[in-house]
Amino acid sequence: MSGWRKKERLWGLLFIGPNLLGVTLFFILPALFSFGLLFTDYRFANPDMNFVGLGNLKRLFHDELFYLALKNTALFLASVPVSIGLAFLVALALNKSVYLRSLLRAMFFMPYITSGIAIAFVWMLLFQPSKGPINQLLRAVGIENPPGWFSTTDTSMLAIDIIWIWFMLGYFMIIYLAALQELNSELLEAAKIDGARGWVTVRRIIWPLVSPTTFLLLVTGLIMSIKTFGIIQAITQGGPGNSTTIVSLYVYRTAFSYYEMGYASAISWVLFAIILFITLIQWFGQKKWVHY
Amino acid sequence: MKRNRWMSASLVLALTVSLLAACSGNGGNGGEVNSGGNGKTETESSSGGKKTEVIKLKMWGGVPVEAGPQAVVDAWNAEHPDIQVEYERFVNDDAGNMKLDTALTTGQGADLFVNYAMPRLKQRIDAGQALDLSEFADYNIDEQMGRDASQWKVDGKYYGMPTTRGISFMWLNKDMLDAAGLPIPPADWTWADLREYAKKLKTDATWGLLRHEAIFMNPFNSVLESVGVTRADGTSNLDHPLLKEGFSTWHDMMFADKSTPTYGEQMTSKMPVDTMFLKGESAMLDAGGFIFRNANNLTDNPRTFKIAFATTPRMSADQQGAKAAGGLGDVLSINAKSANKEAAWQFLKWYADGGMLPMAAGGRIPASKSVNGDEAAALLLKGVEDKYDIDSLKKVVFGQFETFVESLPQQVVDIRKAEYEKYLLQQAELDASLAEMAEKHNEFLKQQP
Amino acid sequence: MQIRSISWRKSAATAIMFALGLLMILPFLWMISTSVKRPDEVFEYPIRWLPDQLLWKHHLKVWSGPKGFALYYANSLKIAIIATVGSTFLAAFAAYGFSRIAFKGRDTLFVLYLSMMMIPPQVLFVPKFIMFEWAGIYNTHWALILPGLVSIFGVFLLRQFFVGIPKEITESAFIDGAGHLRIFGQLMLPLAKPAIATFMIIDFSWHWNDYENALVFLTESDLYTVPLGLQNFILEYNIDYNGMMAAATAGILPMLLVFMAGQRFIIEGISSSSVKG
């Protein structure tokens, strides 16, 4: 038995090894390096570097902008479950029950395959408060005071959320589509014969069956979103009044605009701890709702 | 299935081998380059030692290559077959500067580079990337570029040579001014005068004033230059009464007079203020020389009216010793790790003393006294002389003013912006905004060593 | 009767989804229309979806000149193809290891993997830069390809799908004497085709659109990729939106092709009967 164990271990290493080598080189080592910077006042390329102990962390806990960025990040992440829910419905619709499936899938996937950044600012025009098409539509359906979107600090993040839902929808959808292909169609047939129809089938059978995928999307979706900054930098640069400055954008600004690499590392590692915490909650919470 | 296995196996192998090869191949000397932080370490370069070989220099700048730089390096290369310069363009934003910074640390691929802001130049000096130009004794920067050049000195030394004069100024639609019976404003006009002008010039179809986002803060910076960024006790001066007056005047022009677009409207619609002005949709445009490129292009921006110029108004008659914002700029530095510093210096001198003239057509006026001002003006106005009021152009664009270089740390610029935005979007009272601004600035000042 | 009523419902669903789909691609329609507009039409309100006159000069400008887009295109294709193919293999192998081979410390290692996905990439640039320079791959395509071969997301995605494949299938093969390599190659890979195709589409789009890495690690303009090429249209104080949109339009084509090719496998996913057979 123990010989078999040893062999299994060897096989495990063989299968995972090449990937692990890459992860070590391109993730673990740089991460350790950046963890070391956390305790310094390193400025990029500047050889004059001092050990500051926990100084960066202390500064962080008194940094008002950091707390604001945390709040903004939470508001930003709210878009992820919404987008996942919508993507599930779209994937269901585009799985079998429509014509022109390829074309429709491509349309919904389009946002994800462009960098987003290149066309990000068209959203600025669509959301333009006085003359933009979105508010014109809202006025046409009788809303007299449509939101000011990017022109007020209260609604700018809502606009960003909508853009992010639009952007991530295709990614969530395509993975749901792949998951739907793996569903046991006999089970679905049996459910149909039992008289379960439409919405009941979706809720009682399909939704639980794709729960491992939902779990995957929730974990990766949150991780990807929490790390993103390019699209916000392109549209609002964090404004107005820092109302769309999320933590990762603050890291970017601190590192590349203020050159404070040590402090940027500190913010990053606190952000890392937060993501890890959220992910662990999900990981242990998955037993309650994920059915493998 | 066999094929799959082989393909993946060979891929893994390729990954490992290439990594190892790369590591062992260049590991040694790469490390040395990195350790040379003080800028004195010379790296070995194949083009360095041998005299017969052509020296290749690379210059990094933020101006798009077709807007002048290509013509500049082409002219140099034709004259100097032994020193060939290539121009590399970087976008002058955070990401683009990061790219330049990384390239500079390697000591290759960037021999000369242009700095556009004091904080970036300082960072590069601290990192040992910008060469101290006092090692070359054959050129007197103060004498050539004038007294204002010294604002680019750091610790009493030049680590880069300012090459352009780029103050901001007011673009005027002369026809609209004439129609309203308004003269070209005098050099010492104020924001109160500006407000009156805008009010009178505004019609149902046209704005009185448009302001370019890039120079939004210039008049405010000019105040800070007069009164100091901090008070005598070392605390923030961002809530100075003159600044308050400025913000409130600007605000009232937006909301009371409606003579200029509101901040929210301008930002959310990405208002193309330069093309709007050139289309005759505004009587005045607060901007700088960078508009010339579009203004001189009558094919894309046809216009019939004449353009006149005025200085940027002072915030108030109370503002003592107001200086023009912008000043000398385009500070050209030599990479301290360059293998060809001497050649880079040759090019730098040539560039500053007239080599850069092809860029004048885009509004970059050479600062060196070796450059004939008339020649630059002629280049700038070639073919469009009748579209400008030459008298005010000579007085303002080519005028001699006391100037200053904005050198606020980026953190302070961002703090200020976040707060005044709230006021101009009518989401906060002015006093609250200014108080918040000053408080955050004070916190920043405390952190500084 | 029944068939007709079903197809009627299908048509209605198609119409609704098409309308929603149009909303999704609205920004792209703007992009294409901007690429054939005059500069002064770009910011006009109401938005002009169809310009008075179609101008092709922006598209011509994109492809002409000494450093035209063809070069950036070739560079991007090279990087994206090598990295995508490589990372798919590496991820599939690792995912199999994490889902089908039982060894001590496996799950701990997997959590370590996941946690590495969470580090903000901004702080890894500097350490990676120092490492790449030391290894001599800074300012070469290897600086994008080698890290691109490693996708933690891919391992996670494929693992989730492998886990979902019934254990009985692999166990019976194991009892029949098949080794891990055979089970991986002959059972798991074909079964996970939809997931693999999905991953390749997503991974390719990441490489194709990767801006930050290319920006920091490539300085030679001959090595530039499409996202870096788009930067050429950012002028000093404004942006050449027409040119940029023309370039961005061209930049989407390869992605669409990859999507169209890949999604056939997602449609043709194996039904349960073939699993049992």
Which residues 6+ apart lie within 8 Å of A211 measured at CB?
Answer: A289, A290, A291
> Which of B117-121, B194-198, C47-51 is predicted most confidently?
B194-198
pLDDT band (50, 70, 90) for residue A62: very high
- B128 in contact with A at a CB cutoff of 8 Å? yes
Provide the b/e sequence for B414-449 (b: ≥16 CB within 10 Å).
Answer: bbbbbbbbbbbbbbbebeebbebbbbbbeeeeeeee
Q: Please calculate the CA angle B184-B188-B191 and round it to the nearest 5 degrees.
A: 85
Cβ <8 Å between B268 and A253: no
For position B25, what pLDDT does the model report?
A: 38
User: Quick check: A116 pLDDT over 70?
Assistant: no
More confident of the two residues B2 and C117: C117
CB neighbours (10 Å) of residue A185?
A: 12
Give the Cα separation of B326 and B405 in Å (integer): 6
Query: What average pLDDT score do residues A66-84 get?
Result: 97
Query: What average pLDDT score do residues C165-191 get?
Result: 85
Residue A204 CB-half CA count within 13 A: 13
Mutate to test the interface with C, among B10, B23, B32, B91 (most CBs of C within 10 A): B91
pLDDT band (50, 70, 90) for residue C225: very high
For position A9, what pLDDT does the model report?
A: 85
Give the Cα separation of B324 and B320 in Å (integer): 12
For position C153, what pLDDT does the model report?
A: 93
Cβ <8 Å between A48 and B126: yes
B112-140 tens-digit pLDDT:
999 999 989 999 999 999 999 999 999 99
B267-325 tens-digit pLDDT:
998 889 999 999 999 999 999 988 998 899 898 889 999 999 999 999 998 888 888 88
- Domains, chain B, in order of start with CATH, read 32-43+52-166+332-388 (3.40.190.10)
In angstroms, the separation between the Cα of residue A13 and the nearest Cα of chain C is 8
Torsion angle, alpha carbons of C244, C249, C252, C257, to 10:
-160
For position C5, what pLDDT does the model report?
A: 52
Provide, rounded to the nearest whole percent, the portion of chain C with pLDDT above 90: 32
> Taking all residues of chain C, what is their mean pLDDT, rounded to a whole number?
86
Cβ <8 Å between A110 and C266: no
Bridge-based pairing state of the strands B403-404 and B324-325:
parallel
pLDDT band (50, 70, 90) for residue B69: very high
In angstroms, the separation between the Cα of residue B102 and the nearest Cα of chain A is 8
For position C272, what pLDDT does the model report?
A: 34
- B64 in contact with C at a CB cutoff of 8 Å? yes
B207-258 tens-digit pLDDT:
999 999 999 999 999 999 999 999 999 999 999 999 999 999 999 999 999 9
Give yes or no for a contact between B438 and B236, defined as CB atoms under 8 angstroms apart.
Answer: yes
Nearest by CB: A31 against C114, C116, C160: C116
Residue B259 CB-half CA count within 13 A: 21
Which CATH number is C56-272 given? Answer: 1.10.3720.10
Cβ <8 Å between C133 and B30: yes
Nearest to C234 by CA among A175, B99, A275, B90: B90
* Partner A, chain C 161-220, Cβ-Cβ below 8 Å: 161, 163-165, 180, 184, 194-195, 197-198, 201-202, 205, 208-209, 211-212
Chain C positions touching A18 (Cβ under 8 A) are 90, 93-94
For position C49, what pLDDT does the model report?
A: 85
Mutate to test the interface with A, among B11, B425, B430, B446 (most CBs of A within 10 A): B425
Give the Cα separation of B15 and A19 in Å (integer): 10
pLDDT band (50, 70, 90) for residue B80: very high
Cβ <8 Å between A125 and C43: yes
In angstroms, the separation between the Cα of residue A16 and the nearest Cα of chain C is 4
- C33 in contact with A at a CB cutoff of 8 Å? no
Chain A positions touching B94 (Cβ under 8 A) are 252-253, 256-257
Chain A positions touching C201 (Cβ under 8 A) are 174
User: Quick check: B392 pLDDT over 90?
Assistant: yes
B18-27 tens-digit pLDDT:
444 444 333 3
* Partner B, chain C 182-221, Cβ-Cβ below 8 Å: 182, 185-186, 189, 212, 215-216, 219-221
Cβ <8 Å between A104 and C14: yes
B44-54 tens-digit pLDDT:
444 444 456 89
Chain C positions touching B63 (Cβ under 8 A) are 236
More confident of the two residues A181 and B83: B83
The ipTM estimated for the assembled molecules is 0.88
Write the Ramachandran bin of B326: left for phi over 0, alpha for psi from -120 to 50, otherwise beta. left
Q: What are residue C36's phi and psi, to 5 degrees?
A: -120, 20
More confident of the two residues A196 and A261: A261
Chain C positions touching B105 (Cβ under 8 A) are 133
Give the Cα separation of A202 and A96 in Å (integer): 14
Query: What average pLDDT score do residues B370-395 get?
Result: 90
pTM of the model as a whole: 0.89
Bridge-based pairing state of the strands B112-115 and B55-61:
parallel
Residue linked to tokens 């305790």: A39
Q: Which chains touch A (3 or more CB pairs under 8 A)?
A: B, C
Bridge-based pairing state of the strands B112-115 and B307-311:
unpaired
For position B432, what pLDDT does the model report?
A: 96
Nearest to A150 by CA among A166, A169, A167, A135: A135
Instruction: Indicate the range of C48-52, C53-57, C219-223 predicted with least confidence.
Output: C48-52
Q: Per the structure block, which two tokens stand in for A176?
A: 């749901």
Chain B positions touching A64 (Cβ under 8 A) are 440
Nearest by CB: B270 against A124, A240, A258: A124
For position A185, what pLDDT does the model report?
A: 67
Chain C positions touching A115 (Cβ under 8 A) are 209, 211, 227, 230, 248, 251
Give the Cα separation of A196 and A207 in Å (integer): 14
In angstroms, the separation between the Cα of residue B104 and the nearest Cα of chain C is 10
* Partner B, chain C 82-121, Cβ-Cβ below 8 Å: 85-86, 89-90, 93
Chain A positions touching B16 (Cβ under 8 A) are 18, 21
Chain C positions touching B269 (Cβ under 8 A) are 43, 45
More confident of the two residues B157 and C61: B157
For position A196, what pLDDT does the model report?
A: 64
Closest chain B residue by Cα to residue A245: B418
Nearest by CB: C231 against B4, B91, B279: B91
pLDDT band (50, 70, 90) for residue B39: very low
- Domains, chain A, in order of start with CATH, read 54-288 (1.10.3720.10)
For position C277, what pLDDT does the model report?
A: 26
Provide, rounded to the nearest whole percent, the portion of chain B with pLDDT above 90: 66
